[in-house]
Amino acid sequence: MNYLAHIHLAHVSQTSLLGNFLGDFVKGSNLDHLPTSLQHGIRLHRKIDSYTDNHPVVKSLRKQFSANLRRMSGVMIDIYFDHLLSLHWPSFTVQPQQVVLSAFYQQLKEEPSKHSQHFASVRAGLLKHQWLQNYNERKSCLGAYQQIEKRLNRRIEFAQEGYQFMNLYHAQIEQDFLAFYPELIHYVQTVELD
């Protein structure tokens, strides 16, 4: 899953919003140097990613991508699922999206950018532009794909073709998401984090 889903799932499971976000930026299994709430969030983030990657719905969806897109299919699905979560947010959470994101941005603001250069860069961009709420617009997925392409120095080009694929199969992907996401919510509410 991508940033918005990790924040939402932290909210649903009442774990650290920031900790779940940090899962992409903190490396290694020794988390003892971090507060317990962040450790739990990072562990949940990793369990969410593993659960998602191994879920039959997601595995089946990845197989539908053409061979030249399959390498990046997981990333594209994660980002597109953020778009679909944004569209269907009220189906999964009573708390408005903006309230949850405001709490996240506040936690992010209070966290020093000590984890990595990549974290510092993403943190600065999120605090300045607060772009997570833009995922309700499908075009934001293309922008995210292009940013990843840029970060990869265009060694892998997938943004335009991947975005066209997502548009073409939007209805099927949305149906898959709506079948998968409630199962993921149930998983995060029951998984052990210690």
Distant-in-sequence, close-in-space partners of 78: CB < 8 Å, separation ≥ 6? 1, 2, 5, 52
Contact at 8 Å (CB) between 37 and 45?
Answer: no
pLDDT of the residue at 113 = 61
Per-domain residue ranges of the chain:
3-190
Examine the pLDDT at 178 and tell me if it is beyond 80.
Answer: yes
- What is the predicted pLDDT for the residue at 30? 83
Q: What is the pLDDT of residue 154?
A: 67
Q: What is the DSSP string of the chain?
A: --HHHHHHHHHHHT--HHHHHHTTT--SS--TTS-HHHHHHHHHHHHHHHHHHH-HHHHHHHHTS-HHHHTTHHHHHHHHHHHHHHHHHHHH-SS-HHHHHHHHHHHHHHS-S-S-HHHHHHHHHHHHH-GGGGGGSTHHHHHHHHHHHHHTTTSS--HHHHHHHHHHTHHHHHHHHHHHHHHHHHHHHH----
Nearest to residue 161, comparing CAs of 142, 174, 184?
A: 142
What Cα–Cα distance (Å) separates residue 148 from each residue in 98, 163, 182?
25, 13, 28
Q: Which of 31-35, 109-113, 140-144 is the most confident on average?
A: 140-144
In one letter, which amino acid is 8?
H
- Is the pTM for the entire model greater than 0.75? yes
Task: Determine which of 33-42, 113-122, 159-168, 170-179 has the lowest per-residue pLDDT on average.
Answer: 113-122
Question: Mean pLDDT over all residues of the chain?
Answer: 92
Above 90 in pLDDT, residue 123? no
Residues 157 and 160: their CA atoms lie apart, in Å, by 8
